[in-house]
Amino acid sequence: MIKRIGIVLSSLFLVVLIGLFIHHKALAVVSQQTDTNSSTTFTIRGGNGSDTNDANGNEILKAHKTPSGTNILRLDASLNGRTAELPVGTLIFLHFPNGAYSTTITPNIGVVERPEKNGLPPSVPFGDIALLKVVGQGTATITVTKINGSHTKLPAGSAVYNNHWSGYYHTSGGPYTDITSQWTVPTASSNANDTYSYHWVGIDDGTDTNGDLIQVGTYSNYHPSTGAAYGAWWEILPTYPTAQGITGTVNAGDSMFAEVKQNSGTSWTITIQDFTQSWTYTSSKTYPGPGNTTEWIAEKPGVSTNILTNYGSVTFANDTQNGVNPQHNYSNDSLEMTSDGTSTGTPLSNPSSPNSLNDAFTVVYCTSNPCSTPSSPASWSNNSPSGTTSDSIQAMAASSSMVLRQALPMPGQVATIRLLLVIYRHSLITGLVPRGDLLLPALIQADLPARTSLMLSR
């Protein structure tokens, strides 16, 4: 009897083990399925519909009107299968921060389209994969498909990962009313496909209720049919939902200065200056954003399936926010761009640690996996002066003009000369240095070895 009971118990134990094993395998299969292609769909009805519920009884999604009068709607995976009725002109933000995704619109024209202008894709807010616009009445379906093999694990390490932005991104310490930087326009390497890269400074990140972001920068794009394309642009979300081109010649190697500055209330000024081509664009804009964040960014613009231009490297130097040193911190502020916006994605663009003054850094296009870590740029004692930006630059220009005129450096005095050129470039912003002094850098470089002259020109 006891033996029979033992056999029964053993059999039951085996059944339980087999059941657990099958259940475990089922869980494993489910777990693996979460890492394969999955789609999220949204139905968009263009026009001023009055329906309150869809066929499934869900509430119809409606647009949110921002203070600037723009209608917007942010869609994410939690709204899968939902229907929205949106007025023509509504901006649609697709917010899918983790993973790599493709986006299709059916039909692809007439109801919902990508708001590109003159071939320039929009700069996309942080964590978004696309910015779309309702352009006509009718019905369209937006399908967001997660690309097979991409991951949604939380980022690891000291940097934050993103599939569109890399650089430095300050999310605390605001409100911010002013941001500046200087950089050299990078060369766009050739490619068999269209490629895009934006380099810019901005305030706000587009993630607040109104999708606010104000920014100005340059682009280094490549098109197989026409070659490399360079230029300057600005964008204000949600009012101007794509990059607005700026008239003015821009070439690879040009030295740029950019600033976004609040005058008062909703009055802001966007400035970008090309030292090499001797032009300046300054324009007053209306912007009601909160000023919560500041950004110095290399971006892959447009939809997430766009290809990032191989731009080599760019150094953002002499950075300021609210007129003072931003004190960049790699652990708190850096962004790394990967193919799926996670630490396990293919690296696309990485920032360096900041320089010793914490007001400059270099960002590089990744040509290997893992991506090589760029070196921090050099520091100068006058990089980011205290006080307001304009007042400090005026003081630097006034005190340095005579020094510049008398400078007759000997070969090898590279650090001193680079400092003088930084001060000189700042002086050009105010116009305190006579235009005849534009010959000064050439005179200085003529006294230096060829390699040093090349270094200075960068």
Are both 301 and 396 inside the same structural domain? no
Question: Whose structure tokens read 């080599």?
Answer: 312
Question: What residues of the chain score a pLDDT lower than 50?
Answer: 1-36, 150-158, 381-420, 422-423, 426, 428-458
User: Quick one: 73 and 113 in the same domain?
Assistant: yes
Domain of 90, in residue numbers: 38-146
Kind plus residue range of the DSSP H or E element containing 12: helix 2-33
Query: Do 60 and 190 reside in the same domain of the chain?
Result: no
pLDDT computed for residue 98 by the predictor: 79
| 3-class secondary-structure state, position 248 | coil
In this structure, the number of other CB atoms found within 10 A of the CB of residue 408 comes to 8
Integer Cα distance of 180 and 324 in angstroms:
10
- Specify if 53 maps to a domain: yes
Strands 213-223 and 198-203: antiparallel
**110 with 191, same domain?**
no
SS3 state of residue 163: coil
How far is it, in rounded angstroms, from Cα 21 to Cα 18? Answer: 5
Residue 320: the pLDDT is 98
The whole-number pLDDT of residue 50 equals: 78
Give the contacts of 447 (CB within 8 A, at least 6 positions apart): 408, 409, 410, 411
Q: Are residues 73 and 193 in the same domain?
A: no
pLDDT tens column, 397-413: 333 332 332 233 333 44
C-alpha 411: how far from chain center: 40
Would residue 335 count as lying in a domain? yes
pLDDT single digits (tens) 34-67: 334 589 999 999 987 778 898 889 999 999 999 9
Evaluate whether 220 touches 188 at the Cβ level (below 8 Å).
yes
Angle between helices 414-430 and 450-457 (to 10 degrees): 30
pLDDT of residue 133: 95
Omega before 370 within 30 of 0, i.e. cis: yes
Quick check: 258 and 272 in contact, CB under 8 A? yes
E-strand ranges in 265-373 read: 267-274, 279-286, 294-299, 307-308, 313-321, 334-338, 347-351, 361-365
- Per-residue pLDDT at 446: 35
Can you give the pLDDT at residue 159? Answer: 66
pLDDT for the residue numbered 399 = 32
Q: Residue 99: what pLDDT?
A: 81
Residue 352 domain-assigned (yes or no) = yes
pTM for the complete prediction? 0.76
* pLDDT attached to residue 454: 33
* Count of structural domains, the chain: 3
User: 154 lies in a domain?
Assistant: no
Residue 64, token pair as written in the block: 């949110």
Which pLDDT score, from 0 to 100, does residue 453 have? 34
User: What is the spatial distance between Cα 363 and Cα 347, in angstroms, rounded to a whole number?
Assistant: 12
Only one residue has tokens 């909160």, namely 290
Q: Are residues 315 and 235 in the same domain?
A: yes
Kindly state whether residues 192 and 223 are assigned to the same domain.
yes
Q: Residues 67, 174: one domain?
A: no
